């Protein structure tokens, strides 16, 4: 436990924040991610993995644990090294042993991690928690996943009596800015199925996610001096308000849960002459997803019919799809992970993800890739935390999956 804890703490102290302004333009979007991968590649060699290489075209580090038994499926484990859009400079993890269920003061920042605001803390009484000092995020998303994969591989190497097939590992960049898996090389990875270690609380096994699209709306107004504007001015901001008011008010993140989708306004800019709106569209059901996209399109068309020229221009594209459509065709990955957790006495939570993972894109590239818990909670901010016991359980799950797969 001490070894993987030191490994995790070492990982999170390295700033690997990605940059959405450079996403897809530079791979990876920040130099620090490649620096981390180079350090990690040396560590993988040191623990005994082979075929260690960094593909500089897609910024994925891959490696192999050779099989010690024949006729087992080839399994992959994947994690991302970048962290989200929150301060990641000078991360100072705080360790709280035997958590007592009370408020946790986050360093000298003045912020408090409280079970009144975060009731999930009550699930960790008696455990060792790792938190931030209140000035940064922690980076358990997904440094916990990285640590778990590396630690599990080291354990299998040091315990050759445990039978397992060939295992491939991959560590990528820019997941947090949505482009990390865009160029993943499924053929080179060469697996029958894989897992992303990128979930949250213990027990999560996720193989259903949103279908996702983004809609950008550009609005052209007509600016006239307000003193002489009657029947002349066309205010782009007013049109923006009309568009937003036309969207279904119940269909927003703050009013939906479980498998309910939404149309979410995430950004708005403008003045009288020009304005822009950006929406993200989400639904687990493909038919409902397409219907939400149609609603956005129809709203824009109706607005345009009121004006002399096309004042509203819509640009919409799909971002990722529900990986359940692929995984349900080959359920081995889910079946083996379910059995592994049950053997370890972990209650399995198969609730759908209200979001997406690299596993979604990779699944549609032909490699079924569900998502397994990494243990952290309250991701992407100063209140992020993870328990040492959760990381240990995730390591155990990886090892157990390897063992069960070798029995098939």
380 labelled binding-site residue: yes
The pLDDT score that the predictor gives to residue 178 is 87
pLDDT in tens, 137-174: 999 999 999 999 999 999 999 999 999 999 999 999 99
CA 63 to CA 192: how far, in whole Å? 16
Tokens of 389: 């016991």
CA 327 to CA 367: how far, in whole Å? 9
**Residue among 162, 173, 142 at smallest CA distance from 19:** 173
Contact 283, 289 (CB under 8 A): yes
Domains along the chain?
2-208+322-407 (3.40.630.10), 212-320 (3.30.70.360)
173-to-125, 146, 178, 208, 272 alpha-carbon distances in Å = 34, 12, 10, 23, 40
CA 298 to CA 292: how far, in whole Å? 10
Alpha-helical segments (H) within 198-255:
236-246
176 labelled binding-site residue: yes
- Phi and psi at 337, nearest 5°, equal -65, -40
Residues labelled as active-site residues: 82, 175
The pLDDT score that the predictor gives to residue 1 is 63
Contact 161, 402 (CB under 8 A): no
Contact 72, 406 (CB under 8 A): yes
The pLDDT score that the predictor gives to residue 259 is 93
Region for 21 from its dihedrals, namely left if φ exceeds 0, alpha if ψ lies in -120 to 50, beta otherwise: alpha
The pLDDT score that the predictor gives to residue 356 is 81
**Residue among 103, 161, 175 at smallest CA distance from 134:** 103
Contact 322, 210 (CB under 8 A): yes
The pLDDT score that the predictor gives to residue 408 is 66
CA 161 to CA 86: how far, in whole Å? 43
The pLDDT score that the predictor gives to residue 231 is 93
What is this structure's pTM? 0.90
96 labelled binding-site residue: no
269 labelled binding-site residue: no
183 labelled binding-site residue: no
Give the chain's residues under pLDDT 70: 1, 408
């Amino acid at each position: 436990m001490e070894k993987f804890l030191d490994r995790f703490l070492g990982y999170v102290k390295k700033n690997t924040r990605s940059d959405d302004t450079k996403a897809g333009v530079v791979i990876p979007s920040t130099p620090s991610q490649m620096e981390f991968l180079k350090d990690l590649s040396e560590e993988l060699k040191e623990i005994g993995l082979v075929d260690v290489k960094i593909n500089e075209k897609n910024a994925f580090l891959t490696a192999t644990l050779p099989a010690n038994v024949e006729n087992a499926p080839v399994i992959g484990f994947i994690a991302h090294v970048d962290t989200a859009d929150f301060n990641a400079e000078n991360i100072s993890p705080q360790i709280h042993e035997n958590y007592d269920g009370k408020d946790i003061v986050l360093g000298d920042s003045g912020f408090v991690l409280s079970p009144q605001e975060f009731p999930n803390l009550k699930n960790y009484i008696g455990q060792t928690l790792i938190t931030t000092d209140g000035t940064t995020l922690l980076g358990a998303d997904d440094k916990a996943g990285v640590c778990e994969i590396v630690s599990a591989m080291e354990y299998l190497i040091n315990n050759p009596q445990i039978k397992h097939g060939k295992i491939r590992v991959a560590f990528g960049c820019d997941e947090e800015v949505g482009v990390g898996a865009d160029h993943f090389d499924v053929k080179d990875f060469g697996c029958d199925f894989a897992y992303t270690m990128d979930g949250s609380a213990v027990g999560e096994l996720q193989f259903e996610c949103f279908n996702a699209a983004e809609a950008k709306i550009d609005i052209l107004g007509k600016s006239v001096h307000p003193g002489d504007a009657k029947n002349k001015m066309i205010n782009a901001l007013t049109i923006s308000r009309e568009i937003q008011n036309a969207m279904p008010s119940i269909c927003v993140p703050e009013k939906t849960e479980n498998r309910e989708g939404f149309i979410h306004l995430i950004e708005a800019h403008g003045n009288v002459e020009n304005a822009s709106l950006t929406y993200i569209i989400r639904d687990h059901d493909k038919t409902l997803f397409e219907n939400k996209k149609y609603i956005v399109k129809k709203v824009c068309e109706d607005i345009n019919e009121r004006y002399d020229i096309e004042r509203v221009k819509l640009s919409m594209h799909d971002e990722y799809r529900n990986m359940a459509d692929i995984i349900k065709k080959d359920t081995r990955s889910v079946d083996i992970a379910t059995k592994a957790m049950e053997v370890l006495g972990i209650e399995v939570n198969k609730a759908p993800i209200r979001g997406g993972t690299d596993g979604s894109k990779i699944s549609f590239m032909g490699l079924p890739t569900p998502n397994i818990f990494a243990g952290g909670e309250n991701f992407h901010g100063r209140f992020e935390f993870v328990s040492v016991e959760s990381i240990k359980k995730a390591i155990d799950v990886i090892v157990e999956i390897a063992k069960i797969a070798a029995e098939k």
